[in-house]
Amino acid sequence: MNILEAVKIHKSYGNKFNKQEVLMGIDLDIRKGEFVSIMGASGSGKTTLLNVLSSIDKVSDGTIYIEGKEMTSMKERQLAQFRKNYLGFIFQDYNLLDTLTVKENILLPLSITKTPKRAAEEKFKTVATDLGIYELKDKYPNEISGGQKQRTSAARAFIHEPSIIFADEPTGALDSKSASDLLNKLSDLNQKRKATILMVTHDPVAASYCSRVIFIKDGRIYTQLNKGEQSRQSFFQDIMKTQGVLGGVQNEH
């Protein structure tokens, strides 16, 4: 079953006199329970693709369906409601509120949907324990490490059990140990909860935790790799080889 379907996605900026085409007719399906990464060189369009798929930006042309609902035709109010119920987000810079505790930050999506207190408490305990941050619940963001902040951000994305979670360079600001901890937790939650995750990354190590890697070049899908039954190390080597063919992948801000 497909959670996300994108059909002939185009995105351009500027006007007819000075037009920059970033995405050029991309077709993409994400199945339920997949952990997929998007990779590509700086300027290839990978971040733009994530932004239009996640409704942060609007497509210039094409159609996006999530859970069979056509997201691209929704008005802003419908879209806000849709995001609240169906989408989760993990950003590179955490996007935590400094005035709220770890627990309060994680519970934000449930407070918006008016989830009963007891149910919210149970969901919080489960997801915070799964991500190894339950004991930090009363601390504020400035009292915890970058890795702990990102796991808090991940817990906030997972807590309302969205249809799909979009992660934009989630390990970009982390040291290698914190990045590895986060990726192991995301992989565990992907398998345990059958959570669907779509992640943009420049890091082949991060991509090797996924079940499928989509490579973008010049606004089009260049190729895809499926992990299948191979080890993470073997998949990492395949990713590195494909990067070599693409001419290397740099960080994109």
DSSP assignments along the chain, one per residue: -EEEEEEEEEEEEEETTEEEEEEEEEEEEEETT-EEEEE--TTSSHHHHHHHHTTSS--SEEEEEETTEEGGG--HHHHHHHHHHHEEEE-TT----TTS-HHHHHHHHHHHTT--HHHHHHHHHHHHHHTT-GGGTTS-GGGS-HHHHHHHHHHHHHTT--SEEEEESTTTTS-HHHHHHHHHHHHHHHHHH---EEEE-S-HHHHTTSSEEEEEETTEEEEEEE-TTS-HHHHHHHHHHHHHHHT------
Q: What is the CATH number of the domain that holds 236?
A: 3.40.50.300
pLDDT confidence tier of residue 246, bands split at 50, 70 and 90: confident
Q: What percent of the chain has pLDDT over 90?
A: 87
- The residue with tokens 């993990």 is 90
Model pLDDT, residue 213: 98
Q: How many domains does the chain have?
A: 1
Whether residue 22 lies inside any domain: the answer is no
Least confident piece of the model among 41-45, 116-120, 248-252: 248-252
**Mean per-residue pLDDT, 230-245:** 95
Any bridge partners for residue 212, and if so which?
A: 36, 226
pLDDT digits (tens, 9 = 90+) for 147-173: 999 999 999 999 999 999 999 999 999
What are the structure tokens assigned to 57, written together?
A: 């930006």
pLDDT digits (tens, 9 = 90+) for 132-144: 999 999 999 999 9
Distance of CA 11 to the CA centre of its chain: 19
Model pLDDT, residue 253: 34
Would you tell me the crossing angle of helices 117-130 and 176-193 to the nearest 10 degrees? 130
pLDDT digits (tens, 9 = 90+) for 100-132: 999 999 999 999 888 999 999 999 999 999 999
Whether residue 252 lies inside any domain: the answer is no
Q: State pTM to two decimals.
A: 0.92
- 128, 134 Cβ separation under 8 angstroms: yes
Model pLDDT, residue 251: 42
Whether residue 20 lies inside any domain: the answer is no
Whether residue 135 lies inside any domain: the answer is yes
Whether residue 205 lies inside any domain: the answer is yes
Is the pLDDT reported for residue 252 higher than 60? no
Whether residue 5 lies inside any domain: the answer is no
pLDDT confidence tier of residue 62, bands split at 50, 70 and 90: very high
Q: What average pLDDT does the chain have? A: 93
Model pLDDT, residue 118: 95
Model pLDDT, residue 42: 85
Whether residue 180 lies inside any domain: the answer is yes
pLDDT confidence tier of residue 146, bands split at 50, 70 and 90: very high
- 64, 23 Cβ separation under 8 angstroms: no
Is the pLDDT reported for residue 250 higher than 80? no
Is the pLDDT reported for residue 93 higher than 80? yes
Whether residue 81 lies inside any domain: the answer is yes
Domain membership of residue 218 as a residue range? 33-58+73-247
